[in-house]
Amino acid sequence: MSDIFNNELFEAFASASDNVFIYVCDMKTNISRWSKASVEYFGLSGEYLEDAATIWEQHIHPDDRALYNEDISGVFSGTKPRHECQYRARNRMGEYVWVECKGSVIWDDAGNPIIFAGLMTRLDGQNKYDSLTGLLTTYELHHCKFSQGRGI
């Protein structure tokens, strides 16, 4: 297994947050490693995945797949310097949550992609409480009311 997967740095970043997930892909072998938190939250089959792009695409909301694919294709073709995209992804409970995904490709001297690494942040976990008042944000307040079956 590649050293990019099995090192203390990956472990440190992978365990840093419950709302931020990391992944690293060896583009020569098409094998990737995802943080344990991402495996648990999104219900992935394991930390190590072969052809993760195909697996992950099934988690992306159908209405957001074209946007995601356009962005990631630009990165892999070299026309975009990095992946940066917001979309909805399905978690293990079958709910779609908003995520922001950022990633970069490392290229070898011959111009071939060798590593793709990135992080994904759950946007629903960022703004639960207003930083000034400590109260629930408007989004959270509405979300709580609707999820309990009550309208506004």
The predicted structure's pLDDT at residue 12? 78
The predicted structure's pLDDT at residue 13? 76
**Can you list the residues of the chain whose pLDDT is less than 50?**
151-152
**CA–CA gap between residue 77 and residue 147 (Å, rounded):** 41
What is the pTM for the complete model shown?
A: 0.76
Q: Using alpha carbons, list the distances in angstroms from residue 95 to 2, 42, 77, 104, 107.
A: 33, 10, 32, 27, 35
**DSSP symbol at 38:** H
Residue owning tokens 């011959």: 110
Q: Which CATH architecture has domain 8-126?
A: 2-Layer Sandwich (3.30)
Q: Token digits for 85?
A: 């995209």
The predicted structure's pLDDT at residue 152? 46
**CA–CA gap between residue 47 and residue 6 (Å, rounded):** 11
**CA–CA gap between residue 135 and residue 129 (Å, rounded):** 5
The predicted structure's pLDDT at residue 17? 75
The predicted structure's pLDDT at residue 134? 64
pLDDT tens per residue across span 110-131? 999 999 999 999 987 555 655 5
The predicted structure's pLDDT at residue 21? 94
Q: Token digits for 9?
A: 């740095």
Q: Token digits for 20?
A: 């931020």
